[in-house]
Amino acid sequence: MLAVFAALNGFACTGRAEEIPDLITNAVAEYQHGHYDLAIDDFSKLIQSNVREAYYGRAGAYYQKRDYDLAIADLNEVIKHDPSAAALELRGDAFFKKGNYAKAAMDYSGAIQLKPRNAGLFVSRADSFFYQGNTARAFADYDLAIQLKTTNATAYAHRGELCAAVRGDYVKGIADCVESIRLDPNCWLGYNNLAALLSVCPNSKLRDGQQALLNARRACDLTGWKNPLTLSVLAGAYAETHDFADAVNWQEKSMEIEMDSGTLEPMAQKKLDLYEHHRPFRTMKD
């Protein structure tokens, strides 16, 4: 959201903003403090005063409230007049959250044309390709992201997961996740994906429940114990250590959060059923 703040600050220097300087300041402050409803009200008033840059700010607030349709509507207005990489990326993020991965990929591609050396955009587009089932293009984009920024910990974490899930190469997948953590000791996704691979790997020589548990707990620490993905991975790690009571407990907590947000993982109930029957979740039999 730095782009909208810069745009509003630029507007404040034109002289017209003398009529509404407090509104600009308040809108930005409310957004930064997470008061999204108040921010939306202020951004709406700015829009009524013909401050076009405020559409982007309001879209960001709608996005944070998970009102993705409203966010997209505002971003359509922004992109119609100024198809910036930031606006295209945010609209891509909104489409991604709605599960419209094809449109998300299109927006990320548009942003990449404007910022071809932005590694993060390639990671986002790779995720979109992956969820469309286009694993070849997903791998290509993760590789490009790493070539552009060899220190991109997130790209390594994503590629590691894909290496294992698609190619069955757990050695390479685990190595990528370890590299992700080395590059950024605070990259929760690196810990999370490493924990997942160490829990579900079909090769018992590579599987390590205790190490999975350590990494899963670190991922939960970094995400405030509120991320359903990390909690589900933690449950799987507990199951791999045969602590099925904790496995059931954390899987249930993960599912509660997902159900509240309407994004329940398709395999969630199957995992819970396995843990209740004292069985770990594995990708295949040994």
Q: What is the pLDDT of residue 53?
A: 85
Structure tokens at 130: 């992956």
Ramachandran assignment for 117, one of left (phi > 0), alpha (psi -120 to 50 degrees), beta (any other): alpha
CA-closest candidate to residue 59, choices 73, 77, 71, 45: 71
Q: In whole angstroms, give the CA distance from residue 230 to residue 223.
A: 8
Domains in the chain and their CATH numbers?
Answer: 1-82 (1.25.40.10), 179-286 (1.25.40.10)
Q: In whole angstroms, give the CA distance from residue 231 to residue 277.
A: 19
Q: What is the pLDDT of residue 117?
A: 95
Which residues, in sequence order, are CB contacts of 47 under 8 Å at separation 6+? 54, 55, 58
CA 101 vs CA 111, 128, 134, 285: distances in Å: 15, 5, 11, 32
Q: ∠213-219-220 over CA atoms, to 5°?
A: 90
Q: What is the pLDDT of residue 221?
A: 98
State what percent of residues in the chain have pLDDT above 90.
79
Question: DSSP per residue over 227-277, as a string?
Answer: -HHHHHHHHHHHHHTT-HHHHHHHHHHHHHHHHHHT---TTHHHHHHHHHT
Q: In whole angstroms, give the CA distance from residue 6 to residue 237.
A: 44
43 touches 61 (CB < 8 A)? yes
User: Which one-letter DSSP state was computed for residue 279?
Assistant: -
Q: What is the pLDDT of residue 2?
A: 52
Q: What is the pLDDT of residue 22?
A: 77
Phi and psi at 118, nearest 5°, equal: -90, 105
Q: What is the pLDDT of residue 18?
A: 55
Q: In whole angstroms, give the CA distance from residue 202 to residue 167.
A: 13
| Helix (H) / strand (E) containing 9 | helix 2-12
Q: How many other C-beta atoms lie within 10 A of the C-beta of residue 172? A: 15
pTM of the model: 0.82
Q: Low-confidence residues of the chain, pLDDT below 70? A: 1-20, 283-286
Tens digit of each residue's pLDDT (9 = 90 or more) over 177-229: 999 999 999 999 999 999 999 999 999 999 999 999 999 999 999 999 999 99
86 touches 3 (CB < 8 A)? yes
CA 203 vs CA 72, 146, 168, 183, 283: distances in Å: 44, 28, 10, 26, 10
